[in-house]
Amino acid sequence: MAVDLTPDPSVAQLAQRTAQFVRQVVVPVEERERGVARSEEVRVELQRAAREAGVFAPHVSAEFGGHGLDMRGRAAVFEEAGYSLLGPLALNIAAPDEGNMHMLEAIATEEQKERYLRPLAAGEVRSCFAMTEPAPGAGSDPAALTTRAERVPGGWRIDGRKWFITGAEGAGFAICMARTAGEPGDAGGATMFLVDADNPGMKTVRHIETLDESLYGGHIELLFDGCVVPDEAVLGEVDQGFRYAQVRLGPARMTHCMRWLGIARRAQDIAVARAAERRLFGSRLGDLGMVQQMIADNEIDIAAARGLITQACWELDQGGHASQSVSIAKTFCAEAVWRVVDRALQICGSLGVSGDILLSRFLREVRPFRIYDGPSETHRWSIARRVLREHDKTAGR
């Protein structure tokens, strides 16, 4: 009984099966599609293959067709899935569906689970999570939430504007955060609502062009304009939305880290292969000291990121919020993954910035992760404040 990093054998096996599936099945599709699934055909093709390979939806419980992985198990498997930009889509563990499934399993009623979670876990529909708002609304500061839900007979009427709602295009339903009490800036008073895609009060304003393009269903601006939903649309309890958001956010941040860590490893593998083959100034590229330094720094960043993910996941699996460890892991991973891809691209030189290989695509995909799910600056602020609070407590203030 001591610190043990040996994964559960069934997890190790699933991770290995995932690794093999991604390399053999997903990567060829990814390269063909240049990293971005632009049609339902691709999604359906990949998800069918994942089901056949027995690696589909590993995070949901067996009841809903998955393998019931805890956070540590997800860490092992999602990293392997993330080795391709299309791996998470194939396994149905892409954002935001994966986080939504996690939350629905945790707080939805049985009826809601049957109606929303079951088809979502099966890959029959997709979903989105409508929280972020244009400035000065909810963003880095969730409490700035301005979208309101007002009581109407038998339900609620939601009004407000959301943007950067990932996956909203083609989603079967949205989970929408709206303020049911208090004013923008207040720490409480939010409620989550399940809104069907065909609700006429929920309108797609536009598809926001972004640097990254691989998250399926895009980043969408939505308008909730007199959007009426019934009482059964309330997810969890009224006014408890911020608390649920925390339930969702910690794990969702970690699964982002896991997936992007996979891309970091992929980038490193591409760069190492190049360094091993390319000759320059009479040497193998990989024999030049500055290239070796980049390769080594990538290894260090990848290993450190994995260690921080392990720590946070272990804490989450113990039942806590793990807020500090999650902030630390998220901040480090987002920046480390970025550095790794950037160095890999540099090693590959002009080939690296070309579309002939996927590194410049990876670079575009990972950059926004330093911003979404909490910008690095916001997390650093939280980390420092927790440390200072802890100090004040100990010092008896």
Binders of a second copy among residues 242 to 271 (CB under 8 A) are 268-269
Residues in 345-364 at the binding interface with a second copy, rule: CB under 8 A: 345-346, 349-356, 360, 363-364
Q: Which of 27, 267, 275, 326 binds a second copy (CB under 8 A)?
A: 275
Q: What are phi and psi of 280, to 5 degrees?
A: -150, 135
Q: Which of 41, 110, 209, 396 binds a second copy (CB under 8 A)?
A: 209
Q: How many residues bind a second copy (CB under 8 A)?
A: 98
Kindly state the smallest distance separating residue 366's Cβ from a second copy, in Å.
11
Residues in 80-139 at the binding interface with a second copy, rule: CB under 8 A: 132, 135-136, 139
Among the listed residues 41, 82, 35, the one whose alpha carbon sits nearest the alpha carbon of residue 58 = 82
Q: Is residue 154 part of the contact set for a second copy (CB under 8 A)? A: no
Closer residue to a second copy, CB minimum distance, 47 or 214: 214
Q: Is residue 307 part of the contact set for a second copy (CB under 8 A)? A: yes
Q: Which of 106, 273, 320, 321 binds a second copy (CB under 8 A)?
A: 273
CB burial of 75-106 (b: ≥16 within 10 Å; e: otherwise) equals: bbbbbbbbbbbbbbbbbbbbbbbbbbbbbbbe
Kindly state the smallest distance separating residue 51's Cβ from a second copy, in Å.
25
Q: Which of 68, 310, 323, 339 binds a second copy (CB under 8 A)?
A: 310
Kindly state the smallest distance separating residue 305's Cβ from a second copy, in Å.
8
Q: Which of 121, 295, 316, 337 binds a second copy (CB under 8 A)?
A: 295
State how beta strands 283-284 and 279-280 pair: antiparallel
Residues in 363-392 at the binding interface with a second copy, rule: CB under 8 A: 363-364, 367-368, 370-372, 375-377, 379-381, 383-385, 387-388, 391-392
Instruction: Please check whether residue 65 is in contact with residue 120, taking contact to mean a CB–CB distance below 8 angstroms.
Output: no
Closer residue to a second copy, CB minimum distance, 229 or 316: 316
Reading the block at residue 275, the tokens are: 């360094």
Closer residue to a second copy, CB minimum distance, 190 or 348: 348
Reading the block at residue 102, the tokens are: 């996690």
Instruction: Please check whether residue 347 is in contact with residue 275, taking contact to mean a CB–CB distance below 8 angstroms.
Output: yes
Residues in 311-330 at the binding interface with a second copy, rule: CB under 8 A: 311, 313-314, 324-325, 328
Give, in order, the Cα–Cα distances in Å from 171 to each of 14, 198, 220, 248: 28, 10, 11, 19
Stretch that binds a second copy, among 46-54, 57-65, 147-155, 282-290 (CB under 8 A): 282-290
- The contacts of residue 268 (CB under 8 Å, 6+ apart) are 295, 298, 299, 302, 340, 344
Give, in order, the Cα–Cα distances in Å from 234 to each of 145, 174, 194, 238, 309: 17, 12, 6, 7, 32
| CA pair distance 389, 375, nearest whole angstrom | 21
Beta bridge partners of 178: 191
Angle between helices 71-81 and 241-277 (to 10 degrees): 40
Q: Which of 223, 297, 323, 339 binds a second copy (CB under 8 A)?
A: 297
Q: Is residue 153 part of the contact set for a second copy (CB under 8 A)? A: no
Q: Which of 163, 173, 216, 260 binds a second copy (CB under 8 A)?
A: 163
Kindly state the smallest distance separating residue 256's Cβ from a second copy, in Å.
15
Kindly state the smallest distance separating residue 360's Cβ from a second copy, in Å.
4
Residue type, 333: C
Closer residue to a second copy, CB minimum distance, 2 or 62: 2
Residue 333, helix vs strand vs coil: helix
Closer residue to a second copy, CB minimum distance, 112 or 210: 210
Kindly state the smallest distance separating residue 352's Cβ from a second copy, in Å.
7
Give, in order, the Cα–Cα distances in Å from 291 to each of 238, 268, 285, 316, 336: 55, 12, 7, 38, 17
Residues in 10-49 at the binding interface with a second copy, rule: CB under 8 A: 11
DSSP letter at 220 equals E
